Each structure stands twice: as C-alpha cells, then as structure tokens.
Amino acid sequence: MNLVEIFASAQGEGPYVGTSTVFVRLGECDLRCLYCDSPGTWKPAAQWRFETSAGSGKFETFDNPASIDDVAAAVARLAFAEQRFVSVTGGEPLLQPEAVRAIAELVAPTSARFLLETHGLEVEGLEAVVDVVDVVSMDWKSPVEAAYADISKEPNFLSRHKRFLEISHASCEVYVKLVVTPETSPEEVATAAREIASVDPAIPFVLQPVSPFARVRTSPRPSELLPLLAVAQEWVEDVRLIPQTHRAYGAL
C-alpha cells in the first residue's frame, strides 16, 4: 500500500470528536479541494512515517510501499486495540480498497471500531470494502470547490454521493460532513440535506466551518453559519455545527 503516516490522537472532526483514535493515512487523492488541509497526500508518497508512542510527536520513517505487516507493527506500538477507533484517512483511502480491507481485518478482532474517512465519491471502492467497515465518515463535496484532478473523468457528484450514502447506510453506521466556506450557499446545503433525508432523515449531518488554510483565508461568520444550520434542519433530524478541533491536540 502507499502509506503517508500512522499516529495516535483524538478524533478532530464530526460527531465522534474528541474520542481516542489511531489514524492510518493513505497516500493519493483524485480531488483537489480548495480547503484541503493535507495537500501533501494528493500524490503517492515516497516515504511513510509512524509515531513511536502516542502523543510523542516522534516519528520513524520508511520507504513505500508499506505492507500490512508494517501497519500491524506500527499500530501495535500505539496500543490500537485500546483505542475507541482506528481511522483510515487520506488522501482518498478507497483508491486503495485492498489496503482498506487489510487494515479493517487487522482491527476486527479488537474492541476498536474501524472508521473510514472518505470523500464519498468512490462508489466502486466502497462496494469492495463496506462489509468490513464499522463507521463511514462521508464528505459531501461541492464540484466547484472540490474538482477532480482529471476533469475529463469527473462524474456527477450528486448522483455518486447519493449512491455512496445508500450503500453505506445499508451496511454500517454513516454520517455526512459538509465543509462550509464563506461561499457556501443555502441552496447547496439544502440540496445535500434533501438527498440525505431521502435515504434516512436520521443520518447525522455535520456542517463543518472551514479552517483557514492554503487558499482559504477566512472562516464563515456566525451570521452566515446559523442560517445554513436552519436550512439543513428543515430536512435532517440530526444536524450539528462542529468545527475542526484536531489542531488543539497537536495532530496534523
């Protein structure tokens, strides 16, 4: 597999914010989101690193590709079986479905839950692994702010998000996150909320104010966020406004 890093921290996004988590970050992504806080994962990494002990900030570095035995040894050093979650993130993990499955099977005998963080567009990749996933953390992307690297292959975002959500909901726990920028419109939020509700209005829907980074300079103001929250609540029963918190833990 192409691996970027393995480290221990607390979950910094979504409804499980603050819970103990070992993160396994895979390399490569086919989107180029304006607000991406890890653009170094867009392309496959030459090397990967793992934190030698939880919260130490001390890493050892190795060459890619990594094996599942490498992952097993690294997460064992971080006492992954004692954590609430093992989260596979990226990049886009579902570009490497074999790696996602292997890591999930490593986690399965423990009490930790396996959480997949994904942009929610790789339907075929999801179908290959959803049976071994406990929780899907699914983004809902704007085609304007999250264009494909190869725009000639760009699918219909709405239809693929809807199918991705249907598959996830039929097999495991799922929640949806939408990153809110100052440019996010009520119509965009309403469209996402309406499609989520058509699958199940009880699916948690997280509006995540963007953290200033790279080309994004400002976060939305409360006067912009609260009307969007009200719009989403017209369709979805469980809507939450949750900012990123992981930088407070010293995580990347």
146: confidence class by pLDDT, cuts 50, 70, 90: confident
Sign of the four-CA dihedral 29, 35, 36, 40:
positive
Cα(36)–Cα(215) distance, integer angstroms: 9
Q: What is the pLDDT of residue 245?
A: 87
The band of 251, judged by pLDDT with boundaries at 50, 70 and 90, is low
- Nearest Cα neighbor of 97 from 67, 136, 125 is 125
CA distance 29 to 83: 27
Alpha-carbon distance 186 to 73, whole Å? 46
Classify residue 121 by burial, with Cβ atoms within 10 Å: 0-12, 13-18, 19+: buried
Whether this prediction's pTM lies above 0.85 is answered by yes
Predicted confidence (pLDDT) per residue in 13-23, tens digit:
999 999 999 99
Could you read off the pLDDT of 148-162 as tens digits, one per residue?
887 666 668 999 999
Buried/exposed 17-54: b ≥16 CB within 10 Å, e otherwise: beebbbbbbbbbbbbebbbbbbeebbebbeebbbbeeb
Return the higher-pLDDT residue of 48 and 252: 48
pLDDT at site 239: 98
Tens digit of each residue's pLDDT (9 = 90 or more) over 176-190? 999 999 989 999 999
Distance CA 100, CA 94 (A): 7
Can you list the domains of the chain with their CATH numbers? 3-249 (3.20.20.70)
pLDDT of residue 252 exceeding 60: no
Decide if pLDDT at 126 tops 60.
Answer: yes
Contact (CB, 8 A) for 65 and 91: no
Name the band, by pLDDT with cuts 50, 70 and 90, for residue 169: very high
Reply yes or no on whether the pLDDT at 114 is more than 90: yes
